[in-house]
Amino acid sequence: MYHFNFEPVFAGFGQLLIGAWLTIQLSVAAMMIGLVVSIICAAGKTSGIAPLRWLINVYIEVIRNTPFLVQIFFIFFGLPSLGLRLTPNSAALVALIVNFGAYGTEIIRAGIESIQKGQVEAGTALGLSKLQIFRYIIIKPALRTVYPSLTSQFIYLMLTSSVVSAISADDLAAAGNNLQSQTFASFEVYIVITIMYFVMSVGFSTIFSLIEKAAFKYPLSR
């Protein structure tokens, strides 16, 4: 019979909270910057510039067809060979942004292509600039259409961030590994970490639902 002993875990719970806070910071920063990258790349992919579309397609295919762990190793261990050295936390953030950008580009591209050409033509007839057409006629309806898919990708990004502990980034997974090595309460530590990731996922989902109601007036995911 296994006897659970959570006392060592609760004694070091502060370490887990610090790690969880860094996980949240990395996730939010990667979500915001990655969304900008996704919008720019989606706009480029739907443009008429063939070389730009080719470059974006190469970026998407490379990221979507290689493991995230290899990507983060390349950024943290490979880039120093070219003279670019990043801290573990910075390398983790860059890897998360690059990874989300590739997946987010395809999601937003699908939303952009769902906009009827007649709406764009109407904006042109009204004398709107290309930037105004993209901002008011294309991107907001596109984001409304793909918002559920984007939020799911956001949650997946947050959970994927646990991999960054492999390069000694100080996230929740790394804090859990450190606490486990100190207390040897492996089962208890990872039970608590699992609960913390679950709580963060539910928290993000609730926040995204509120943003959906505020930004788009009504939720499309229900």
pLDDT at position 204: 93
Distances (CA, A) of 18 to 172, 207, 221: 7, 21, 33
- Domain regions of the chain by residue span: 8-216
User: What pLDDT digit, counting tens, does each position of 8-52 carry?
Assistant: 888 889 999 999 999 999 999 999 999 999 999 998 888 878 899
Distances (CA, A) of 218 to 88, 205, 209: 40, 16, 10
Helix runs in the chain, H state only:
7-11, 13-45, 50-64, 68-73, 88-113, 117-125, 130-132, 140-160, 172-183, 186-216
Measured between alpha carbons, how far is 91 from 165 in angstroms, rounded to an integer? 11
pTM for this entry: 0.86
State which fold the 8-216 domain adopts.
MetI-like fold (1.10.3720)
